Structure 1
Amino acid sequence: MPASAAMTTTHAATPRLTAPIILLMSIATGLTVASNYYAQPLLHTIGQQFGLSTTAAGAIVTTAQVSYAAGLLFLVPLGDLLERRRLIVLMTLCSAAGLLVTAFATSIGMVFLGTALTAVLSVVAQVLVPYAATLAEPETRGKVVGTIMSGLLLGILLARTAAGALADLGSWRTIYWVAAILLVLCAAALWRALPASRNPTQLSYPQLLRSIGELFRDEPLFRARAVLGALSFAMFSVLWTSLTFLLAGPDYGYSDTTIGLLGLAGAAGALAASRVGRLADRGLANRSTRVGLLLLLASWLPLAFAPVSLTALIVGILVLDLSIQAVHVTNQSAIYRIRPEARSRLTAGYMTAYFIGGALGSLVSATAYGMAGWHGVCAAGTVLALAALAYEWRTPGAHVPDLPAAAN
């Protein structure tokens, strides 16, 4: 049965967003998703403590992303079934518990366990995004999604800066203790500020999960945008997974704090997210997608000179992160037009593909660095960029009608 057959739309009386709630949701999204990235600038430090190889240390990032993908598939659809405020607060608190497991880890097994637990529950960020899209007015939906996604990408990028700085002040565990406390405080604020909201679905949980596959089957735009999302985030992971090894190695010899500061360079891309969302609201989704993919390809040229030029590295990071954000926000604005009553499941399917791409990118990056160093990493990124451009060019289903978003 098609996913929409047994669904009714959200009531028109749904409470609308205010600026303070948008800000809180952006902060919450950033804090929760950041939990998956604290380890990246610390991989060599954690690896030294537990006697891990470069590839084995990179598996910490892969574990986070695979677990996040599992949470996206099995937990995010609950946003179309359960009362959203309770679900968001509960998942935030459980993610904080996973951070504490990692903070007190006495073995690498506990690090992997804490990483997996935190990641599978930090998908609460992806419950917040479709929730915000539902509360937003149709004519500002792209802008609101872009603003929330700015918080998400800032969380991903600034996680590295915070983790590196706190590691030098204390140990690699310090960021996990601090982050757990912040998530508990965030959960309390969300409980007080968010309006109660429940989508009046008639589907059972198994039917809800099955309907994600039906959405992939029935919606070419959804299918195509999920592939583009996976390829773009794979490039993000290719860069950031191995960047730690380059910067900690003989070419730079940077400390954890200095490595983390490179996240500030990528944060500029996050700040452009709401502007990209406005382009989607104006019906320019195809243009922003094509430009974003071309810039992704171009970013690997300055990145290839990273071992000999810090300036080239920073330019490459700026271009790559801005481009990925442009593609990502456009993708989400596009798929939220399809089935308003199924936005949590659309998010679940899209973001599952997105983070599977990220997990594969991390694996490819660590392997490429081990085999061919930084130039192997850049070659892998270039191949992915060419694949994304070719797919977008040759797939009609990836193209959004150049019209303003429908008022739904």
Structure 2
Amino acid sequence: MNYKHNAQLSGGQQRPSLSPSLLLILAISCGLSVANLYYNQPLLADMAQSFHVSASQIGNISMLTQLGYALGLFLFVPLGDIREKKTLIILLLGLVTLSLLFVGISKNLTLLGVASFAVGLTTVVPQIIVPLAAQLAEPQQQGRIVGIVMSGLFFGILLARTISGIIGSLLGWQAMYFIAAGLMFILALMLGKALPKTGSTSNLSYSQSLYSLWGYITKLPLLREASLMGGLLFGSFSVFWTTLAFFIKQPPYYYGTEIAGLFGLIGVAGASFAPIAGRLADKKGPRIVVGIAAGVTLLAYLVLWLLGHHLWGLILGVILLDLGVQGAQISNQARVYALVPEAKSRLNTIYMVTYFIGGSLGSFLGLRAWSLWQWKGVCLVGGLMILVSIIIWTAGWKSNQVKLSGKVL
């Protein structure tokens, strides 16, 4: 068995809690499923060549994927509080399998855009799994548990680029999506056997659940702060990753798709920090970790601006960027989940919708900046997004401090 029983559900049933094996399964599932959103980034240059379009036009594919994800978060993730999470996860995995197949058979840019939007819309399983892990964790260990599950998610984000770059170089970009569809089908079968049933944590109807989102937004200033910071930091992350393949195709690098993907491996150093960030958030308070992480992200763009045309500088910038964005993500989610424990999925919806709207904005602005001003423009846009997030964090530090168990959230 992957779980034990130690708490009561609303109907008197025993509620399962985490075991090490179930925690590992949740982390792996997050990584495999979230990867669907990022396969396209190293492949954008090849897609542009395949459909005979510009970098600016093909950049809409990344933006549509992230916008679809934001809408999927809004529509589906609130169901995690009012429906059985296991059934919801398996259903969504079936839908994303079909969406990935649709991408692989797309014959023009319009169909590719529709299919990419559908992939984003249905790839919301990680954001149901993360609140599930937090729900099953002991309250004093939520930061650590979220950090472990999110480390799996971050590895998926980073390795997705590496894998898609290599497969795209060897077999063509379409092959990556056929392989991804097969992986999602296998994952659905695996989770059908491994996941426990947890029941619901709310008696609200679906419409009431959606309506309650507005109440949380208006009444929880810390939620607004964390969400805006997360969106801006992820936007800066997307600015870099959607333009990298175009940057390294030019002098002084002349690298191909497979090398663009390999840069994802460099970011593993940042992903490995995720559990540490979770523990620091539990011990020192997540607000402090968020501020430090935002500063590291800004430093990353300074390095990329000044040293990005040197390979060692580009590598250092990638490490710092992933380290900062992922550290902020872990800490932001830890403080969001602590606000209203019985509404984790709905709070996660608000946070992650904002997060991926920021990501889609970053993809859009990054490729526009590349088209107009090349690398300096990319670094300027990414750096400005981080500066705005730091301003928001500073304002929150002064006026919206919330304390829970002695820790500043």
Q: TM-score range by the shorter chain?
A: over 0.9
Q: Hey, what does 1:337 align to over in structure 2?
A: 338
Deviations 1:23-46 (A, max 9, x none): 111111111111011111111110
Distance 1:170 1:397, change over 3 A: farther
Letter in 2 for 1:73: F
User: In structure 1, the residue corresponding to 2:363 is in which secondary structure?
Assistant: helix
What residue number does 1:401 align with?
403
In the alignment, residue 255 of structure 1 is paired with which amino acid?
A: G
Residue of structure 1 equivalent to 2:41: 40
User: How far 1:259 sits from its partner (Å)?
Assistant: 1.0
Deviation for aligned residue 1:159: 0.7
Judged with a 3 Å threshold, the aligned counterparts in structure 2 of structure 1 residues 118 and 10 are, in CA distance, closer, same or farther, namely: farther
Whole-angstrom CA distance in 2 between matches of 1:381 and 1:111: 27
- Matched AA of 1:147: I
Gaps of 5+ in 2: 1-8
1:193: Cα distance to partner?
0.7
* 1:16 corresponds to: 17
Is contact 2:308–2:317 with CA below 8 Å preserved after alignment? no
1:119 equivalent in structure 2: 120
Measured in 1, the distance between the counterparts of 2:273 and 2:402 equals 21
Q: Secondary structure at the match of 1:16?
A: strand
Q: In the alignment, residue 131 of structure 1 is paired with which amino acid? A: L
Is the contact between residue 300 and residue 317 of structure 2 (CA under 8 Å) also seen in structure 1?
A: yes
Shift of 1:250: 3.2
- Indicate the residue corresponding to 2:6 in structure 1: none
Q: CA deviation at 1:16?
A: 0.5
Report matched runs for 1:336-375 at 5 Å.
336-375=337-376
Matched residue, 1:159? 160
Q: CA deviation at 1:398?
A: 5.5
What per-residue deviation string (whole Å, max 9, x for no partner) do you get for residues 253-299 of structure 1? 11111110000111211111111111111142122111111111111
Give deviations 1:60-100, integer Å, cap 9, x for gaps: 00000000000011111010111110100110121111111
CA distance in 2, matches of 1:88, 1:42: 28
CA distance in 1, matches of 2:121, 2:57: 20
Structure 2: distance between partners of 1:23 and 1:397? 39
| CA displacement, residues 306-356 of structure 1 (integer Å, 9 cap, x when unaligned) | 552010011011011111111110010001111111110000000000000
- Alignment-derived partner of residue 387 in structure 1: 388
Check whether the contact 1:280–1:404 (CA below 8 A) recurs between aligned residues.
Answer: no
Residue in structure 2 matched with residue 4 of structure 1 by the alignment: none
Contact 1:392 1:398 survives alignment (8 Å): no
Distance 2:316 2:99 in 1: 35
1:322 matched residue in structure 2: 323
Rate the CA distance shift 1:9–1:363 in 2: closer, same or farther, 3 A: farther
- The amino acid across from 2:272 in the alignment is L
Match of 2:99 in 1: 98
Whole-Å separation in 2 of the counterparts to 1:10 and 1:108: 50
Q: Are 1:334 and 1:400, in contact at CA under 8 Å, matched by a contact in 2?
A: no
Counterpart contact for 2:294–2:324, Cα < 8 Å: yes
Q: Is the 8 A contact 1:146 1:276 kept in 2?
A: yes
Partner of 1:301: 302
User: Aligned to 1:253, what secondary structure does the other structure show?
Assistant: coil
User: Are the aligned partners of 1:269 and 1:318 in contact in 2 as well (CA < 8 Å)?
Assistant: yes
Report the TM-score when normalising by structure 2: 0.94
How far apart are 1:388 and its partner, in Å? 1.2
Q: Distance in 1 between matches of 2:300 and 2:41?
A: 21
What is the CA distance between 1:109 and its match in structure 2?
A: 2.0
User: Residues of 2 paired with 1:271 and 1:324: CA distance?
Assistant: 12
In structure 2, the CA distance between the partners of 1:227 and 1:402, relative to structure 1 (3 Å rule), is: same
- The residue aligned with 2:239 is 238
Q: SS state of the match for residue 15, structure 1?
A: strand
Given the superposition, is the C-alpha separation of residues 101 and 341 from structure 1 closer, same or farther in structure 2, using an over 3 Å criterion?
same
Point out where structure 1 has 5 or more consecutive residues left out of the alignment.
1-7
Counterparts in 2 of 1:397 and 1:33: CA distance versus 1, 3 Å:
farther
Distance 1:394 1:220 in 2: 11
Offset of residue 197 of structure 1 = 1.4
Q: Which amino acid aligns with 1:97?
A: L
Amino acid at match of 1:48: Q
Partner of 1:377: 378
Q: CA deviation at 1:240?
A: 0.6
Matched residue SS, 1:195? coil
Alpha-carbon distance in structure 1 between the residues aligned to 2:10 and 2:282: 21
Once residues 307 and 59 of structure 2 are traced to their aligned partners in structure 1, the CA distance between those partners, rounded to angstroms, is 20
In 2, distance between residues paired with 1:331 and 1:10?
32
Structure 1 residues 404 and 185: alpha-carbon distance in aligned structure 2, compared to 1, 3 A threshold:
farther
- SS of 1:201's equivalent in the other structure is coil
TM-aligned CA deviation for residue 11 of structure 1: 7.4
CA contact (8 A) 2:285 2:407 kept: no
Residue range with higher mean Cα deviation, 393-402 or 259-268? 393-402
Q: Superposition pairs for residues 244-259 of structure 1, below 5 Å? A: 244-259=245-260
Change (3 A) 1:48 1:359: same
Following TM superposition, by how much is the alpha carbon of 1:251 offset from its aligned partner in structure 2, in angstroms?
A: 2.9
* Residues 168 and 131 of structure 1: CA distance in aligned 2, closer, same or farther (over 3 Å): same
Instruction: Find the counterpart in structure 2 of residue 76 from structure 1.
Output: 77
- Contact residue 201 and residue 343 of structure 2 kept, 8 A: no
Give the secondary structure class of the aligned counterpart of 2:15: coil
The alignment covers a number of residue pairs equal to 399
Amino acid at match of 1:343: K
Q: 1:242 to 1:398 in 2, by over 3 A?
A: farther
In the TM superposition, residue 10 of structure 1 has moved relative to its aligned partner by: 9.7
Does the CA contact (< 8 Å) of 2:130 and 2:149 recur in 1?
A: yes
Pairwise mapping of residues 68-217 of structure 1 onto structure 2 (< 5 A)?
A: 68-217=69-218
Give, in whole Å, the separation in 2 of the partners of 1:307 and 1:220. Answer: 37
Higher alpha-carbon deviation: 396-405 or 54-63:
396-405
Specify the SS of the correspondent of 1:14.
strand
CA 1:244–1:11 in structure 2 vs 1: closer, same or farther (change >3 Å)?
A: farther
Change (3 A) 1:100 1:285: same
Instruction: Tell whether the 8 Å contact from 1:83 to 1:196 is kept in structure 2 after alignment.
Output: yes
- Taking the aligned partners of 2:12 and 2:188, their CA distance within structure 1 comes to 26
